[in-house]
Every structure is written in C-alpha cells, then in structure tokens.
C-alpha cells in the first residue's frame, strides 16, 4: 500500500494543504462516531463537501460496500449516474487513472419521449436505457437527485436480477427520497452507501466516489 496518494490529491501543494487542514478540522470537531477507518474517509469527505456534520450518523453502509466500491474502481467499472451533474463533478484525471468511464442518459431524446409516453420520469427511463445497454451490471450506480431512479434500480435488482457492484444512493428531496433510500437499505446482496432521510444530493455522491477513488489508489 502506498504511503502517499498522488493521482487523487489536489494538484498543488497549497491545495493539498487546504484540503488536509479541512479534514483535520472535521476530525477535531466531529465528536464520536462508529465508522470503520475506510468508511470514515468517505463520511469525512462528504462532511468536508457540505460543512454538514449531520452526515456523521446519516450515512449508512452495507457491510461490503467500501470494499466493493474499491474493487469496482480498481477493475475499471463504469459509473452510471442519474444526472449529468455527477459526471461533471467527478475528476476526469482520477477516473482516467483507473480506466473508469461515466454515463448518464437523463437528457437523451429517446428517454424524454419514453417518459412522456409511459407516464414515468426521465430518471426511470434513463436507468432502463442503461440497463438495456448492459451498463448497470457490475457498475457503480450513482444517484444524487432522482428518487425514482433509485427505485427503478431496486426494481431491476428484485425483478430482473440486476447485479451492480455498488449503489451510491443519496437522492435529495421531499417526495420518495427518504423512502427510496429506506428501500435500498433492505437490499442484502447488493452493496450500497446511502444517506438516511431527506438529505442528499449530487455533491455528496461526488464526494463519496472521490473518497473511494482515493482508497483505491492507496491499495494500488
């Protein structure tokens, strides 16, 4: 295991120092937590990204989640997101180091047309398109905005035997957000990382995946 990450660090010494100082402040102010070391690295980066200490406790992990995410990254698994914001927020050099590609279909014309025809959401149709293209099995599915995307993924797992490597399910909002994450938590065989309740967002998903990238680099 390498002592110092290079690819998943800030590009300048000043930037690195600011980020490390921020992590130190989080560690100092967070109080007690029950997370294992690798899981805490993910939660800490989520707190760093939002300045919200409530994610100490709101963030939940399937027992195999962290290792599953690291192994998926090390083998170059794809990341399929519910919205473009996640794909834009992820560092291309960091992804490129592992050969990880991102996909999103929320704005595709055929997705929009099917959502209108079938009276569903674009997020549902986007996940169905990704599944039909064979992109979801073995991938990291990243949901930060649309609860209906997460519910569709759960349906595909339960009904169509979908087997993603990891779900990072953190949709934000008031309609079905908490419920979709509670349903994800019931998945026994599919690893997941979720935020409990209404809080979430694409920023958190990006932070969690960046933390997984750093953990993966440390294992290389």
Contacts of 93 (CB under 8 A, 6+ apart): 7
Distance CA 205, CA 97 (A): 19
Is residue 1 pLDDT above 50, yes or no?
no
Q: From 10, 6, 11, select the one nearest 20 (Cα to Cα).
A: 10
DSSP string, 2-69: -SS-STTS-SSHHHHHHHHHHHHHHHHHS------HHHHHHHHHHHHHHT-TTHHHHEEE-TTHHHHH
The answer to whether 91 and 45 are in contact (CB under 8 A) is: no
pLDDT at 14: 87
Question: pLDDT tens digits, residue range 32-69?
Answer: 999 999 999 999 999 999 999 999 999 999 999 999 99
Quick one: average pLDDT of 151-159? Answer: 98
Task: Give me the phi and psi of 194, to 5 degrees please.
Answer: -135, 165
What are the tokens at 33? 């937590």
The secondary element (H helix, E strand) that includes residue 174 is none
In 3D space, the residue among 176, 175, 162, 172 whose CA is nearest the CA of residue 200 turns out to be 172
Query: Of residues 48, 104, 131, 210, which has the active-site annotation?
Result: 48
pLDDT of residue 113: 98
Query: What is the average pLDDT score of the chain?
Result: 95
CATH superfamily of 13-219: Cobalamin biosynthesis CobH/CbiC, precorrin-8X methylmutase (3.40.50.10230)
Is 48 one of the annotated active-site residues of the chain?
A: yes
- Residue 183's pLDDT band (cuts 50, 70, 90): very high
Which residue would you say has higher pLDDT here, 78 or 17? 78
Q: Are 150 and 167 in contact (CB under 8 A)?
A: yes
Average pLDDT over residues 205-212: 98
Q: Which residues make Cβ contacts (< 8 Å) with residue 13, sequence separation at least 6?
A: none
How many residues are recorded in the chain?
Answer: 220
């Amino acid at each position: 295991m390498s002592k110092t990450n290079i690819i998943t660090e800030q590009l300048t010494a000043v930037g690195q120092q600011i980020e490390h100082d921020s992590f130190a402040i989080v560690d100092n102010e967070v109080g007690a937590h029950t997370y294992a070391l690798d899981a805490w690295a993910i939660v800490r980066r989520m707190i760093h990204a939002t300045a919200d200490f409530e994610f100490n406790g709101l963030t939940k992990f399937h027992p195999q989640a962290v290792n599953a995410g690291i192994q998926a990254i090390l083998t170059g698994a794809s990341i399929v997101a519910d919205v473009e914001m996640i794909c834009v927020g992820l560092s291309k050099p960091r992804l490129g180091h592992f050969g990880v590609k991102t996909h999103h279909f929320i704005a595709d014309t055929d997705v929009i047309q099917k959502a209108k025809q079938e009276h569903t959401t674009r997020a549902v149709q986007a996940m169905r398109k990704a599944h039909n293209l064979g992109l979801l099995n073995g991938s990291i599915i990243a949901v930060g905005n649309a609860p209906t995307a997460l519910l569709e993924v759960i349906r595909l797992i339960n009904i169509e035997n979908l087997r993603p490597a990891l779900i990072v399910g953190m949709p934000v909002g008031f309609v079905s957000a908490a419920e979709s994450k509670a349903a994800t938590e019931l998945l026994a065989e599919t690893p997941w990382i979720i935020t409990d309740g209404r809080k979430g967002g694409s920023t958190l998903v990006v932070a969690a995946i960046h933390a997984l990238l750093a953990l993966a680099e440390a294992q290389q």
